[in-house]
Structure formats: structure tokens, C-alpha cells
């Protein structure tokens, strides 16, 4: 980009991590004048955690429980809000940092706040139903996002339920009754 008189300027719009590196500006004089600049582009890291703080890519919940997912972005992007999506549909508008946004008449709630050098955004879905199952994405800008697959199960459908909460909404690695019966039979046979 040229500016009068005789000034050249390099501008990188929408810089990405791959744009980082050594840049040189050379002026065609004798001897040539060279200026070197090292550009470092920092991109926030983002992950979705369960209520216990463990990073998750899949989460299992019972019908009528409360889904709780935390999106952690470090460092906090200076101008980007944290947004939640389900199947490419926004669950949030652009909330100010630290301000709770509750959609009127909906059961989703998002709380976003500063934490240290990062941002924390919680997605809460009250009274989860099977129709709430799907992919949920947390985004902190165009190139910074991550997703979790949420499974809301009706009844004792799966032994793969990940974790337990105080509200009794999720299951903790519950073995099926058939497995328990087989285990009991084995113990009885071993004892005789």
C-alpha cells in the first residue's frame, strides 16, 4: 500500500497464525536498505468443558435434566464476543462481557464473564428433551470455534452416560441390568 511521499506500508487484513514469520522491507538504494520485522500472530485457544471442568467433545444427559456446557477462550479476544450455535443457528446475540442474556420464552441461557486472561461462557439448557440433542458450537470469531455433540436420552438407554451432577440429570457409567445379572451369576458360580 503506497502513501505519498515514498512510503510503503504492508497491511495484513484478517491475520491468521500462518501469517506469522519474518517480513523484510527493502529500499532500492545503493547500498540497499533492509528492515526486518518478525510478526507473531496469537490466536485464542478454545475448548468446551462439562460442569466438572473436563474438556468434552460428546456429552450425555437425561431427559428433563439441565445441560451445562462451559466454553473457555484464552486469551480473551479483545473485540469478539463468545457465541453459541446449534446447527448453525445462533443461541445468543452479542452480549456485553459479564452481562447475562436470557432469551425471552426460551429454555436456553448463556452467561459470559471474564476469568483471568480469558473468557468463560456457560450454555444452560433447562428441562432438556431428546430434540435438544445435536451439535453445539462455541465461537470466538471467524476462525476460532469448537463443537460438542450433545445426546439427550430418554430412560435407561445407554451405559455411555458420561457424568453425574447433583440434580441427578446425568448418569455416571451405569451398567445395564443384564450386565449386573451376568456378574451376579458369575459370582454365585465362583462361590460354589
pLDDT tens string 111-162: 777 777 788 888 888 888 898 899 999 988 766 889 999 999 987 555 445 4
Whichever domain contains 128, its CATH number is: 2.60.40.10
**Does 160 map to a domain?**
no
Cβ(127)–Cβ(84) below 8 Å? no
Same domain flag for 95 and 29: no
Same domain flag for 85 and 133: yes
**Can you tell me the mean pLDDT for 174-179?**
40
Q: Please provide residue 179's backbone torsions phi and psi, each rounded to the nearest 5 degrees.
A: -65, -45
What is 19-79 written as a DSSP string?
G-EEEEEEE-SSSPEEEEEEE-----EEEEE-TTS-B-SEEEEETTS-EEEEEEEESPPSS
**Does 178 map to a domain?**
no
Domain count, the chain: 2
pLDDT in tens, 97-106: 333 444 444 5
Q: Would you state the pLDDT for residue 166?
A: 34
**Does 182 map to a domain?**
no
**Does 84 map to a domain?**
yes
Same domain flag for 13 and 85: no
Closest-CA residue to 65 (of 183, 161, 187, 178): 161
Q: What is the pTM of this model?
A: 0.61
Same domain flag for 70 and 133: yes
Check whether the bond before 192 is cis (ω within 30° of 0): no
**Does 13 map to a domain?**
yes
- CA 29 to mean position of chain CA atoms: 51
Question: What's the distance, Cα to Cα, between the start and end of the chain in Å?
Answer: 88
Q: Domain range for residue 33?
A: 2-39
Same domain flag for 31 and 125: no
Closest-CA residue to 131 (of 87, 71, 83): 87
- pLDDT higher for 108 or 52? 52
What residues does 83 pair with on adjacent strands?
Answer: 139
Q: Would you state the pLDDT for residue 33?
A: 87
Same domain flag for 89 and 134: yes
Same domain flag for 124 and 56: yes
Same domain flag for 50 and 35: no
Same domain flag for 12 and 84: no
Same domain flag for 104 and 142: yes
Q: Would you state the pLDDT for residue 4?
A: 63
Same domain flag for 27 and 106: no
**Does 175 map to a domain?**
no
Residue 191's H or E segment, with its range, is: helix 177-191
Same domain flag for 19 and 85: no
**Can you tell me the mean pLDDT for 27-54?**
89
Cβ(149)–Cβ(48) below 8 Å? no
- Which of 27-31, 76-80, 162-166 has the lowest average pLDDT? 162-166
pLDDT in tens, 54-99: 999 999 999 999 899 999 988 877 667 788 888 877 776 434 433 3
Per-residue confidence band for 171, with pLDDT thresholds at 50, 70 and 90: very low
**Does 163 map to a domain?**
no
Per-residue confidence band for 1, with pLDDT thresholds at 50, 70 and 90: low
Amino acid at each position: 500500500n503506497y502513501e505519498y511521499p515514498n512510503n510503503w506500508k504492508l497491511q495484513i487484513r484478517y491475520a491468521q497464525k500462518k501469517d506469522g514469520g519474518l517480513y523484510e522491507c527493502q529500499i532500492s538504494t545503493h547500498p540497499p536498505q533492509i528492515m526486518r520485522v518478525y510478526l507473531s500472530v496469537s490466536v485464542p485457544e478454545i475448548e468446551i468443558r462439562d460442569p466438572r471442568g473436563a474438556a468434552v467433545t460428546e456429552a450425555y444427559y437425561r431427559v428433563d435434566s439441565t445441560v451445562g456446557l462451559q466454553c473457555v477462550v484464552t486469551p480473551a479476544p479483545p473485540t469478539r464476543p463468545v457465541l453459541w450455535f446449534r446447527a448453525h443457528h445462533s443461541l445468543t446475540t452479542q452480549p456485553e462481557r459479564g452481562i447475562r442474556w436470557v432469551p425471552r420464552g426460551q429454555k436456553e441461557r448463556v452467561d459470559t464473564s471474564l476469568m483471568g486472561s480469558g473468557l468463560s461462557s456457560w450454555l444452560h439448557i433447562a428441562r432438556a428433551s431428546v430434540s435438544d440433542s445435536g451439535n453445539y458450537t462455541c465461537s470466538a470469531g471467524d476462525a476460532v470455534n469448537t463443537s460438542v455433540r450433545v445426546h439427550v436420552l430418554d430412560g435407561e438407554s445407554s451405559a455411555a452416560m458420561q457424568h453425574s451432577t447433583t440434580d441427578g440429570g446425568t448418569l455416571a457409567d451405569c451398567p445395564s441390568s443384564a450386565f449386573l445379572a451376568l456378574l451376579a451369576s458369575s459370582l454365585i458360580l465362583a462361590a460354589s
